[in-house]
Amino acid sequence: MTKRLPIFPLTGAVLFPGMQLPLHIFEP
């Protein structure tokens, strides 16, 4: 899942540039 971790924050930042809450949830 190490390869998917960097993908989630990047996609989330593009889709929701003002939403950093989901980013912290995905991170272990």
pLDDT tens, position by position, 1-28: 455 555 566 665 565 555 555 555 555 5
CB neighbours (10 Å) of residue 1? Answer: 7
- Model pLDDT, residue 16: 55
Model-wide pTM > 0.75: no
Say if residue 19 is exposed, middle or buried (CB neighbours under 10 Å; 0-12, 13-18, 19+): exposed
Q: Is the dihedral of CA 16, 21, 25, 27 positive or negative?
A: positive
Rounded Cα distance between 3 and 10, Å, is 12
Q: What is the pLDDT of residue 19?
A: 56
For the chain, the structural domain boundaries read: 1-28
| The length of the chain, given as a count of residues | 28
CA distances from 20 to 4, 16, 24 (A): 17, 8, 7
